[in-house]
Amino acid sequence: MRRLQTIILVLSRFFVFVSPEQVYSLSVVNAEVVGSLTKKNCLFSCAIIGMGVLQLETMSNLVARLKKSSILHLLLAITFFVSGLIINIIQCLLYFGVRPFSRYLFRKINYYLSYSMYSQVVFLAEWWSNSNVVVYSDKEEFDKYCGKEHGYLLMNHRYEIDWLMGWFFCERMSLLGNCKTYAKKSIQYVPILGWAWKFGECIFLERSWEKDKEIIGRQIRELVDYPDSMWLLLMAEGTRFTHEKHEASKIFAREKGLPQLNHHLVPRTKGFTSSIPYLRGKPAAVYDIQVAFKKSDEEPTVMRMLLGLPVEAHLYVERIPLEQIPEEEEACARWLHELYQKKDRMQDSFFKTDDFFAESGVKRVDGFNLKRRPVSLLNTVIWGFVILVPMSCYLLRLLTCGSWFYFSAGISIIAVFFLLLSKMIGMTKISKASSYGKTSAALTSELKSSSVTKKID
């Protein structure tokens, strides 16, 4: 009897990560009671003890292990890429079949299609890794305006996942399906997200100012006619911050008498100054968004989230009425440079003190959390069921049919999805960032065509 107890306890200790003290506390049985047990009752009591030990491994620990599984990563990839292609096909049919007759109806339907795709990415941050965003804003003004008008968002671009934290914020504001952005033209030809952005009427630029000016004017006029609130994101730095690009940016700033920034690149102003006139007179405002992560935390990456490890982003959100932005182009450009000086002070303060306001001179506002909605979770679960059940059956048949040809085909399909997942993660890495603006000579050429470079005191 005692030997049987010992075996169960040893096995429980081996398979479950619990302390010896926990095992001992569960295994101690009153000697008098043990003496009165039959062998059958002893087996039953030992089984109960084993079950109790197993329950000591919390669900969070079990889930944490599963989230690191390559098999589950594969299932997430299959769900996203297959559902993405299905959504793209539906968007294409609507774009050519409905949009010419009713843009209103097309946009209403496409909102839900875009949301269904984007929210699977947000699910990775919001539910899979249980990450969080702390928002710092004037709460009264935030509740009154944010999400209830068109927004022109100016956000820094320093981290691998700053864009994802922006989507996270949009999801909490119920605006994820109506998020638009500026992107280079070649992205519209990339399947799934690129095609979704194309059908979602994002602004694709050719980096030729004469063409881009016309594109910006035409598309913003269309976007502000949205029946629902729309947010348009501009990362005015033009590319993700790296030390190499920052050095080139500082050289350019010195040459042109522009403010030198410590944590941002020189903003490109022409896209901003040419966009704002089309927002005037509409229910719209500019929103300054500053994203930061504590330096004491692990580096925030998509891979970290895929492994189920949480991150916490800090977002400063300030609403700026369009009336406060100068109408004249050069004055508008100076205003943007001054805004980036403020953003730079806030970033510097956060890096030093984990606080946007301690050393920046910016008026302090309290931080708060936005309520998590279950929609992205339900959307991903539904797509997972719709895609994975037939896909798993199909792959299982290929792998077990006994034919080397079909077996190889099944392995190839799995390899393709792993490759797509790896490629998608790789595109977010800072080391894989665009070479755009890496040298001072190149940056000078780029900014001459995209900025007002008049000296700013």
User: What is the Cα–Cα distance from 67 to 309, expressed in whole angstroms?
Assistant: 9
* Per-residue pLDDT tens over the stretch 270-314: 999 999 999 998 889 999 999 999 887 778 888 899 999 999 999
d(CA 318, CA 410): 51
Measured between alpha carbons, how far is residue 178 from residues 17, 118, 190, 226 in Å?
45, 10, 20, 9
CA distance 343 to 349: 10
The conformation of residue 360, written as its DSSP 8-state character, comes to: T
Measured CA to CA in angstroms, residue 83 lies from 141, 322, 386, 415, 423 at distances of: 38, 39, 9, 18, 18
User: What is the full per-residue pLDDT of the chain (457 aa) written as tens digits?
Assistant: 444 444 444 444 433 334 444 434 444 444 444 444 454 554 555 555 555 545 545 666 777 788 888 888 889 999 999 999 999 999 999 999 999 999 899 999 999 999 999 999 999 999 999 999 999 999 999 999 999 999 999 999 988 899 999 999 999 999 999 999 998 888 889 889 999 999 999 999 887 888 888 899 999 998 988 878 999 999 999 888 888 998 999 998 888 888 889 999 999 999 999 999 999 988 899 999 999 998 877 788 888 999 999 999 999 999 999 999 999 999 999 999 999 999 999 999 999 999 999 999 999 999 999 999 999 999 999 999 999 999 888 888 888 887 888 888 888 888 888 888 887 777 666 555 555 555 545 555 555 545 444 444 4
At 289, give phi and psi (nearest 5°). Answer: -115, 120
CATH 3.40.1130 fits 80-375, yes or no: yes
For 42, 46, 62, 327, the CA distances from 55, given in Å and listed in that order, are: 20, 14, 11, 65
How is residue 267 written in tokens? 């903003």
d(CA 126, CA 120): 10
Entry pTM: 0.81
Residue 229's closest CA among 187, 273, 180, 270? 180
H or E, element range at 39: helix 39-55
Helices 20-27/39-55 angle, 10° precision: 150
Enclosing H/E stretch for 184: strand 179-184
